[in-house]
Amino acid sequence: MGDSDCHTIRNICILAHVDHGKTTLADHLIAGAGSGLLHPKQAGRLRFMDYLDEEQRRAITMKSSSIALKYKEYNINLIDSPGHMDFCSEVSTAARLSDGALILVDAVEGVHIQTHAVLRQAWIEKLTPCLVLNKIDRLISELKLSPMEAYNRLQRIVHEVNGIVSGYKSEKYLSDVDSILAVPTGEMGDENQEFIEDDEEDTFQPQKGNVAFVCALDGWGFCIGEFAEFYASKLGASVKALQKALWGPRYYNSKTKMIVGKKGISGGNKARPMFVQFVLEPLWQVYQAALDSDGDKAMLEKVIKSFNLSVPSREFQNKDPKLVLQAVMSRWLPLSDSILSMVVRCMPDPIAAQSIRIARLLPKREVVDNGTCHDVLAEAEHVRKCVEACDSSPEAPCVAFVSKMFAVPLKMLPQRGPHGEIMNNFVEEGGASDLNEYFLAFARIFSGVLSSGQRIFVLSALYDPLRGEGIQKHVQEVELQSLYLMMGQGLKPVATAKAGNVVAIRGLGQHILKSATLSSTRNCWPFSSMVFQVSPTLRVAIEPSDPADMGALMRGLRLLNRADPFVEVGVSARGEQVLAAAGEVHLERCIKDLKERFARVKIEVSPPLVSYKETIEGEGSNPPENFKVLTDSSEYAEKTTPNGRCVIRVKVMKLPPALTKVLDESSDLLGGIIEHKPEQRSKRLQLLNATEDDNPIEALKKRLVDAIESDIKSGSKEIDSDKVEKYKNLWIRIVQRIWALGPRQVGPNILLVPDSKGEDVGSSVLIPGSSLVSERLGFVDVSCAKTMENDNAAEAGLEASHALYMEAESLASSVVSGFQLATAAGPLCDEPMWGLAFLVEAYIIPSGAESDESEPSTHQQDLYGIFAGQVMTAVKDACRTAVLQKKPRVVEAMYFCELNTPTEYLGPMYAVLSRRRARVLKEEMQEGSPLFTVHAYVPVAESFGFADELRRWTSGASSALLVLSHWEALPEDPFFVPKTEEEIEEFGDGSSVLHNTARKLIDAVRRRKGLPVEEKVVQHATKQRTLSRKV
């Protein structure tokens, strides 16, 4: 491995939707590589890469694992990845270490939600993709399609996948859910399919050889090039011409022996494209000959004779027709040869790939060179050039990226080293050795040569080489203990590994939490962070059954946090240990690992802790109503500090939904901009996949303005352009007055700067604000903002003493802190607020007559606490009161749900959806199959146990996939009391009204947090006495 040439290495991963055949395909590639690890007859049944008990039991892949294959003179590192949405973090780790991706799509089920996700991941990581259409045999044996119908179906899938990729290339969709909802129902009719001309810019084109048609279970597959070679001599055409002609509307005229277009054929509608005539029809004939009871066995013998296949007579004369078919097809069109030859031909080697991917892996940094750090910058640039060129010489700086840590039982570590020496595997490591678990790093070498025993620097994502010694916590120097070549579950020790290889490294367990950059020099920028498609939304509180086991549980949680790239571990405000996972399946696996591997204690798991938000009723996109709220002096909540020196008035209005969404999604970038840290901002940018030449502030500003405009237009369809412009300008004026965002300085709520010309309260001074956030976002010129502040100061100075104004200015931070506290915990159930704009006017009144006498003033200060704290508390209370006055509403997270159901189970499926408060978006029949595809929104709170209930009610025939989509306000009023006659007639009088859904959700959260809940503890007390009294 140490001597392998970079040009002969290929690093590939297999990506697809769940159950589309990734692990089965990997089995055949392993068996076909001739390594002796897997017998060809076991391929597809053994699931070699799924070596965990839980994976075999559930029949799904739960982690990405690598294996090194040998094909001709090429070394192929194959990474199998999960398809379940809960384990999409593993897809990110696999994609980061690969140069190419095999995208699998089921020919029967077509494109699904996870297909969108993996295509997006491949595009983000700049991988070279190849398309593999799997389960072609199901078109023949299950759906009984004719070759022409099958061709139309395959062409439609290729066209749809190309459409998704081109959408991502043009950065059209912000999320996978957006891209699914954008696809119109019944995109095109079957009859038009054969006339689609392939666009030259399409990513996947069968005639270019980057699309394979396979049946992974039976072990056969082909690219168009193989059939072009079969027919070249027979038809007297060149292989290149045939390869172009075997896909698309090209026909073969048997009389003239020429390839013609649609216009050149004489057979009319009966003519078949060449792909149907020369590729699909022979396949159909072989299948019918093998599987039909009256099939023509001579046809099979003809195939065996024509292609000189060596099929043992024992297999050919087998009573099971399926085995006969497998024996013939796997020898005629061997799957591993087709796929691996496509990989070698279409996917780049590490040298070519890293020059393409360098902008994603190590983006160029804009750094002002002040002369002091010239050497550091020069070396960092040299390292970047070596990574770009994949320099594998021993002199080159060694750079590697660890995408995840994974735990391996001690018994799985090789006992002997690369030269046969006995290895010491009992080195103490990270508290896991007493559990017989060792942590290995899953890494890819991007430059130089890595060797066991080498000393290397571990750089975290926040490391900055320019800050030198002052940032020690982000860099550590460690010695690598061993290097292994991963062979699925097995590990093969190696002494050295060159650039371009994927290896497992032992000795980093205590130094890396989840991912890191390894470098032989300190003067190296860390690699950009990986992008995860979803965030861990399912949170549960866990505690040991026996309190004495708390230490073991804490240690187990630390190990789990390191072993799983996606799990999050923390402590709640109530002191509970909280575990956050991506979904139910992921959570179940984490709990099982904790119980059996990492903590080894009995654990109690709470019901899921669901997050909510709080907002107010109202159309955020209705500007006249909103501005009335801000200008109307009567609609406000007023609070006074306990010492009576500060009067606070708060007005609140709702922001447009699209503006709220942009603020929420851009929180990472906003954090970097507001904190004014350019190096942090560049790191945040990588998460948003911004290109190098983008100005991040301008891009965000444009998105905010576009969001405002789209909301104004969607608010009223008949609005004319003048009003749109007028309302837009009004909103821009509001956006120019942003003082702060909240909660945590980056949330979707806005604090507006108060207008200094507002109504005064006595001889008071208004606490001034500064449009700091608007300044940083480029909505306000800095000099202009300074002038406004000076004007405010001048006006204030006319009315009050300079000392009072200075005091008011010093309390500005208290107002912001009060706003942050209020938006972090709303009035309904202490959940964060969502999409609100607050205008806080805080007036300070002079101390008055008492100020001359120092004693009472001091006493007053002591009695009520520090004045800044009083202002903060009063602002928080006033904001919460203002929300309660404006019809508060609960906002809940929604999952986008994709369901596949047979027609006969539609009734039970809709019954389950209605019980879960789901909202159906669309339903459509899948052409050529008895399945319905239904898209719906399901509240996260109702999703627990949803998949199990759906399977139970539909006898296992339905499958559902959930992905977090958006936040949505519940229209119900939690404090609803019937007032009109109709309401009283429908709901009863006030005493017997049942709580609506919103109130039930609020009460459940309040009960969980230990907040007071209005409920009757005793009902019908007179009926609860016992019948007999024993005195």
| Total residue count of the chain as it appears in this document | 1031
pLDDT at 1005 over 50: yes
How far apart, in whole angstroms, are the C-alpha atoms of residue 122 and residue 124? Answer: 6
pLDDT confidence of 212, banded at 50, 70, 90?
very high
How far apart, in whole angstroms, are the C-alpha atoms of residue 212 and residue 199? Answer: 18
pLDDT (average), residues 321-325: 85
pLDDT confidence of 854, banded at 50, 70, 90?
very low
Cis, bond preceding 624 (omega within 30 deg of 0) = no
pLDDT confidence of 786, banded at 50, 70, 90?
very low
**Residue 99 and residue 128 in contact, taking contact as beta carbons nearer than 8 Å:** yes
Q: Is residue 382 classed exposed, middle or buried when 0-12, 13-18 and 19+ CB atoms within 10 A define those classes?
A: middle
Q: What is the pLDDT of residue 1009?
A: 82
Q: What is the pLDDT of residue 105?
A: 92
How far apart, in whole angstroms, are the C-alpha atoms of residue 213 and residue 342? Answer: 12
Q: What is the pLDDT of residue 851?
A: 41
Give the DSSP H/E element, type plus range, for residue 734: helix 721-735
- Work out the mean pLDDT of the chain and round it to a whole number: 79
pLDDT confidence of 435, banded at 50, 70, 90?
low
pLDDT confidence of 684, banded at 50, 70, 90?
very low
Q: What is the pLDDT of residue 264?
A: 66
How far apart, in whole angstroms, are the C-alpha atoms of residue 81 and residue 75? Answer: 19
| Cα dihedral value 94, 97, 103, 109, nearest 10 | 10
Dmax of the chain from CA atoms?
A: 116
How far apart, in whole angstroms, are the C-alpha atoms of residue 51 and residue 1002? Answer: 44
pLDDT (average), residues 851-860: 40
pLDDT at 771 over 50: yes
Q: What is the pLDDT of residue 679?
A: 38
pLDDT at 258 over 50: yes
Radius of gyration from C-alpha coordinates of the chain: 33
Q: What is the pLDDT of residue 756?
A: 65
Q: What is the pLDDT of residue 399?
A: 92
CA distances from 713 to 656, 705, 725, 727 (A): 11, 13, 10, 10
**Residue 874 and residue 641 in contact, taking contact as beta carbons nearer than 8 Å:** yes
Question: What one-character-per-residue DSSP string does 829-843 give?
Answer: TSPPB-SEEEEEEEE
Of 386-400, 674-688, 871-885, which range is least confident?
A: 674-688
Q: What is the pLDDT of residue 133?
A: 93
pLDDT (average), residues 757-781: 67
pLDDT tens digits for range 577-611: 899 988 888 888 899 989 988 888 999 998 888 88
pLDDT at 799 over 60: no
What single-letter amino acid sits at 903?
A: T
Which of 735, 720, 799 shows the shortest CA–CA distance to 766? 799
Q: Tokens at residue 831, please?
A: 């959940």
Q: What is the pLDDT of residue 1028?
A: 62
pLDDT confidence of 869, banded at 50, 70, 90?
confident
Which pTM does this prediction carry? Answer: 0.78
Q: What is the pLDDT of residue 692?
A: 38
Q: Tokens at residue 334, please?
A: 């061997």
pLDDT confidence of 444, banded at 50, 70, 90?
very high
pLDDT at 758 over 60: no
Which of 1004, 111, 66, 921 shows the shortest CA–CA distance to 484? 66
Q: Tokens at residue 907, please?
A: 């009734």
Q: What is the pLDDT of residue 176?
A: 65
Q: Judging by DSSP bridges, how do beta strands 220-223 and 490-494 pair with one another?
A: unpaired
pLDDT confidence of 426, banded at 50, 70, 90?
low
Strand partners for 960? 899
Of 32-41, 343-352, 495-504, which range is least confident?
A: 32-41
Q: What is the pLDDT of residue 912?
A: 92
How far apart, in whole angstroms, are the C-alpha atoms of residue 223 and residue 236? Answer: 20
**Residue 639 and residue 651 in contact, taking contact as beta carbons nearer than 8 Å:** no
Which of 396, 187, 180, 146 shows the shortest CA–CA distance to 285? 146
How far apart, in whole angstroms, are the C-alpha atoms of residue 592 and residue 596? Answer: 6
How far apart, in whole angstroms, are the C-alpha atoms of residue 346 and residue 369? Answer: 41
pLDDT (average), residues 92-119: 88
**Residue 788 and residue 796 in contact, taking contact as beta carbons nearer than 8 Å:** no
Question: Percent of the chain having pLDDT more than 90?
Answer: 9
pLDDT (average), residues 610-620: 79
pLDDT (average), residues 53-77: 85
pLDDT tens digits for range 971-1004: 888 887 777 778 777 777 656 666 788 888 888 8
Q: What is the pLDDT of residue 142?
A: 84
pLDDT tens digits for range 902-960: 888 889 999 999 998 899 988 888 776 778 889 999 998 888 888 888 888 988 888 88
Which DSSP category does 416 fall into?
B
Of 64-78, 467-481, 823-837, 926-940, which range is least confident?
A: 467-481
pLDDT at 193 over 80: no
Question: What one-character-per-residue DSSP string does 551-566 give?
Answer: HHHHHHHHHHHHH-SS
**Residue 808 and residue 722 in contact, taking contact as beta carbons nearer than 8 Å:** no
pLDDT confidence of 329, banded at 50, 70, 90?
confident
Q: What is the pLDDT of residue 260?
A: 79
Q: What is the pLDDT of residue 691?
A: 38
pLDDT confidence of 787, banded at 50, 70, 90?
very low
Three-state DSSP class for residue 825? coil
Max avg pLDDT among 119-128, 296-305, 616-625, 764-773: 119-128
pLDDT at 220 over 50: yes
pLDDT confidence of 115, banded at 50, 70, 90?
confident
Q: Is residue 132 classed exposed, middle or buried when 0-12, 13-18 and 19+ CB atoms within 10 A define those classes?
A: buried
pLDDT tens digits for range 495-547: 899 888 999 998 888 888 888 899 998 888 888 888 776 777 788 999 999 88
Q: Which residue has the tokens 């066209």?
A: 159
**Residue 117 and residue 16 in contact, taking contact as beta carbons nearer than 8 Å:** no
pLDDT confidence of 477, banded at 50, 70, 90?
confident
pLDDT at 103 over 90: yes
* Angle at alpha carbon of residue 725, lines to 715 and 785, rounded to 5°: 110
**Residue 905 and residue 958 in contact, taking contact as beta carbons nearer than 8 Å:** yes
pLDDT at 356 over 50: yes
pLDDT (average), residues 818-836: 88
Q: Residues 6 or more apart from 267 whose CB is under 8 A from it?
A: none
Q: What is the pLDDT of residue 740?
A: 81
Q: What is the pLDDT of residue 344?
A: 92
Q: What is the pLDDT of residue 172?
A: 60
Which DSSP category does 1023 fall into?
G
pLDDT confidence of 343, banded at 50, 70, 90?
very high
pLDDT at 369 over 70: no
